[in-house]
Structure formats: structure tokens, C-alpha cells
């Protein structure tokens, strides 16, 4: 059912970023010597509207400020993981999904256009959805301009990674440090057959992780066909809660099983650790966060949300650094102890920093463009229950 993937290409890039600077060989339980957490600049741009030109100009400036992306993407296949949690037909706070809890089409188009102008050969938008229909109609429902995307010079593709999709098989990728929950995961080919990986995320809270930014966006790389229930189902509609969040079910026989089957079953323990593991199996080369309009109080309309107009975009080459500054922009301390600040349980930014994936200390991160104190938009929300 699976094949071991050749990760040398993107691990080399990740190592250059410092996001996975000392990756061990792909052993079942490799020895992991965590390097000092690296620091990379993060750019912030004021952006108060989803006007296409305004978003494009802001994102272009930010990417230039962090060193440009021509060398990163020129002549390469780029996978862009978007945040389309829930369903675009379901509004929140009386507003469309793309103005509250999903990535906005203007940010999608600006990202694709800039990747295209930087010389990307292929741009593949990926997300694991909870629906069984074709992917492109769902994107049109979400407001995406597929005609404008298809007019780019780069080949633009779309893949729903909830199952094998257009691939012939799953690809098994081992967590470099041996894994906090699982030692390895089987994933869709799109996360393997790419040279560069972009996390296109939303600036918002998360009921279990506290904040959901570029790293938490990576949670969705694991297919629900394999991790939505015990038995393999290529046409799933379930989420990953039973296996990853609660640990009350295990993956099907033949899939990697838990590192510690008797480990904690607490959501506040498991969700942060899977978030970090997911960033190990698919390191992020470029993090972009949409905070123009968003919500506080949770990640989707199942939570008690409040509309927020933060009016910002953020970008960086290191996901931990980018998320740390984004967390600060939201009015929180990215170094907060477990069970404090926005974190109902363990702080996944701190866990990532301990592994050497990037620093979560704002004092060590250079901020370019809009200063944090001027971009600050306090979300105010903190979890009602805590369990560290």
C-alpha cells in the first residue's frame, strides 16, 4: 500500500532554512540531537482590504523583504497547503467563510501570481477536505478565480489530499526525531512530489491548540482516508479526532502505530504533538498568514466565534518564527507556559523550538515592515478550560 519516499530534495532545503537542520537518516527511531533553534526574519504588512491589487502589493513587498523567492521556486514544483477547514458554504458571524475562518481567494491569487512570476514550473494547491465531490467545484464555491489561476504561465493543479487522490499509492514518511505520537505517517503523493512547500494559513484561534497558523495548518497533511477511522476508507467524510486527538482508535493494520500506546489521551497533549510531528514529515519552506479579516474564539463555525479585522499579512521562511510573531500580533505570548495564555494545554511553538525547528522567542526574531506594536490586534480570547 505504501512506498518509502525519497525526501532528500526537500530535506536539503529544510536544512538550509534551519527548520530541520540536523535531520537524521530515515530510521524507525533515529537518534535526534536538537540543534539550537534558528531564527529567520518575519515580515508584516498592513492590509485592511481584500482588494486584489492591495493584497498583491502587500505580499510582494513582504516576500522581497525576506529575501525574495526566485531562487526558492524558480523552475520547481510548488505545493501550497491552504486552510479550507469546514465548508465554504457555511458562514460565520454573518460573513462568508473566506472572510472569517478560511483563506481568502485574493490571498490565494496573489500567492500564485507571485510564485508564477518567480518562475515556478508547477503550482499545486492542496488541502484535505471533508467532502466527497470534486475539488475544483468546492474551490469555486469558496470564491476562487480558477480562470485567473489557469491563465498563469505555471501549470496550476488542485488536489484533495484526503485520500490517495491522483496518486497511485501513499508515501510513508518518518518523523526525523522518531515522533511524539507516531514514528511515521502515510501521506498523499502531493506532499512528496514537490520541491517547495508553502503553508497558506489563516490568523485565528484554535480550541485545542490555542492558535492555528502556518504550523497548525500542516495538521491536515495526514489523509482522513487512513486517519479518520480504524479501517481504510478511500471516500471518507470523518475527521481525525478518534486517532490523533483522542487516541481512542488506532490506525489500520499495516500503518505505523503509536510510539507509546499507553501515552496520555488528553487532547491538550496529543494535538500539539501531532502538530509538531506533521511539520517534521513535511517541513514548511514558506509561511504566509492571512490576517486581513478573521475570527477569534476558535477555528471554525462550530466554535463561539467573533469577527476580527486584524488588517495584517505575515510571511517568513521559518514556520516557527513566523507563527511566533503572528501569535504576538494576536496579543499573546508565544513563549507562554503550557496551560497559560492562549494555549489550553502544551504550547506547540515551544515544543517545536525544543526540537530545534525554529525559535519562538520574539526577542530573537527580526521583524521587517510593520512593527509588531503597530500591527498588534488583541484577540482577547483564552480557552475556557485548561489541561496541561
Q: What is the pLDDT along the chain (388 residues), one digit of tens a residue?
A: 444 443 334 333 333 333 333 333 233 334 456 667 899 999 999 999 999 999 999 999 999 999 999 999 999 999 999 999 999 999 999 999 999 999 999 999 999 999 999 999 999 999 999 999 999 999 999 999 999 999 999 999 999 999 999 999 999 999 999 999 999 999 999 999 999 999 999 999 999 999 999 999 999 999 999 999 999 999 998 899 999 999 999 999 999 999 999 999 999 999 999 999 999 999 999 999 999 999 999 999 999 999 999 999 999 999 999 999 999 999 999 999 999 999 999 999 999 999 999 999 999 999 999 999 999 999 999 999 887 5
Q: What is the pLDDT of residue 169?
A: 97
Q: Nearest to residue 364, comparing CAs of 39, 64, 93?
A: 39
Residues 381, 310: Cα–Cα separation, whole Å: 14
Residues 103, 294: Cα–Cα separation, whole Å: 9
Q: CA quadruple 324, 73, 282, 292: dihedral positive or negative?
A: positive
Q: What is the pLDDT of residue 88?
A: 96
Q: In Å, what is the CA distance from 340 to each residue of 126, 210, 352? A: 33, 10, 17
Q: What is the pLDDT of residue 24?
A: 30
- Assess if residue 100 is contained within a domain: yes
Give the tens place of pLDDT for each residue, 265-287. Answer: 999 999 999 999 999 999 999 99
Strand arrangement of the beta sheet that strand 286-291 belongs to? 155-160, 122-127, 77-82, 196-202, 286-291, 312-316, 42-46, 367-369
Residues 357, 202: Cα–Cα separation, whole Å: 21
Tell me the residue range of the domain where 96 lies.
2-375
Q: What is the pLDDT of residue 271?
A: 97
- Assess if residue 388 is contained within a domain: no
Q: In Å, what is the CA distance from 355 to each residue of 20, 26, 312, 349? A: 9, 17, 29, 10
Q: What is the pLDDT of residue 387?
A: 78
CB contact set of 281 (below 8 Å; sequence gap of 6+):
173, 174, 175, 184, 185, 187, 191, 221
Residues 94, 76: Cα–Cα separation, whole Å: 40
Q: How many domains does the chain have?
A: 1
- Assess if residue 106 is contained within a domain: yes
- Assess if residue 382 is contained within a domain: no
Residues 357, 35: Cα–Cα separation, whole Å: 8
DSSP E strands: which ranges in the chain?
2-4, 42-46, 77-82, 122-127, 155-160, 170-174, 184-187, 196-202, 204-206, 210-212, 286-291, 294-296, 306-308, 312-316, 367-369
Q: What is the pLDDT of residue 56?
A: 98
- Assess if residue 163 is contained within a domain: yes
- Assess if residue 105 is contained within a domain: yes
Rounded to the nearest 5°, which phi and psi values hold at 107? -70, -35
- Assess if residue 65 is contained within a domain: yes
Residues 357, 348: Cα–Cα separation, whole Å: 11
CB contact set of 321 (below 8 Å; sequence gap of 6+):
39, 40, 41, 42, 358, 359, 360, 365
Q: What is the pLDDT of residue 385?
A: 86
- Assess if residue 380 is contained within a domain: no
Residues 185, 355: Cα–Cα separation, whole Å: 19
Amino acid at each position: 500500500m505504501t512506498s518509502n519516499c525519497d525526501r532528500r530534495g526537500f530535506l536539503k532545503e529544510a536544512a538550509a532554512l534551519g527548520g530541520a537542520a540536523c535531520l537524521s537518516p530515515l530510521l524507525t527511531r533515529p537518534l535526534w540531537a536538537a540543534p539550537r533553534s534558528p531564527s529567520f526574519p518575519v515580515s508584516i504588512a498592513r492590509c485592511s482590504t481584500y482588494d486584489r491589487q492591495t493584497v498583491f502589493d502587500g505580499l510582494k513587498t513582504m516576500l522581497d523583504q525576506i529575501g525574495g523567492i526566485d531562487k526558492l521556486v524558480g523552475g520547481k514544483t510548488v505545493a501550497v497547503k491552504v486552510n479550507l477547514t469546514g465548508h465554504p458554504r457555511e458562514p460565520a458571524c454573518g460573513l462568508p467563510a473566506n472572510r472569517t475562518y478560511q483563506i481568502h481567494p485574493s490571498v490565494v491569487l496573489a500567492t500564485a501570481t507571485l510564485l508564477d512570476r518567480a518562475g515556478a514550473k508547477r503550482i499545486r494547491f492542496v488541502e484535505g477536505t471533508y467532502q466527497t465531490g470534486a475539488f475544483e467545484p468546492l474551490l469555486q464555491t469558496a470564491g476562487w478565480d480558477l480562470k485567473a489561476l489557469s491563465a498563469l504561465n505555471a501549470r496550476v493543479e488542485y488536489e484533495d489530499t484526503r485520500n490517495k487522490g491522483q496518486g497511485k499509492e501513499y508515501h510513508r514518511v518518518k518523523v526525523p526525531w522518531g515522533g511524539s505520537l507516531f514514528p511515521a505517517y502515510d501521506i498523499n503523493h502531493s506532499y512528496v512530489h514537490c520541491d517547495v512547500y508553502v503553508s497558506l494559513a489563516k490568523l485565528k484561534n484554535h480550541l485545542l491548540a490555542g492558535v492555528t497558523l502556518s504550523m497548525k495548518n500542516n495538521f491536515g497533511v495526514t489523509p482522513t482516508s487512513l486517519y479518520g477511522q480504524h479501517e481504510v476508507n478511500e471516500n471518507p467524510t470523518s475527521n481525525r479526532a478518534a486517532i490523533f486527538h483522542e487516541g481512542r482508535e488506532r490506525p489500520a493494520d499495516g500503518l505505523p502505530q503509536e510510539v507509546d500506546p499507553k501515552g496520555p489521551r488528553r487532547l491538550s497533549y496529543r494535538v500539539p504533538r501531532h502538530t509538531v510531528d506533521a511539520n517534521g514529515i513535511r517541513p514548511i519552506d514558506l509561511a504566509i498568514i492571512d490576517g486581513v479579516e478573521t475570527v477569534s474564539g476558535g477555528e471554525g463555525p462550530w466554535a463561539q466565534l467573533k469577527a476580527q479585522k486584524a488588517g495584517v499579512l505575515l510571511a517568513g521562511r521559518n514556520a516557527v518564527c513566523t507563527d511566533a510573531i503572528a501569535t504576538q500580533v494576536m496579543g499573546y505570548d508565544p513563549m507562554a507556559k503550557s496551560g497559560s495564555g492562549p494555549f489550553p494545554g502544551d504550547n506547540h511553538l515551544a515544543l517545536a523550538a525544543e526540537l530545534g525547528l525554529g525559535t519562538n522567542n520574539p526577542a530573537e526574531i527580526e521583524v521587517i515592515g510593520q512593527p509588531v506594536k503597530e500591527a498588534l490586534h488583541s484577540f482577547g480570547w483564552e480557552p475556557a478550560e485548561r489541561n496541561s
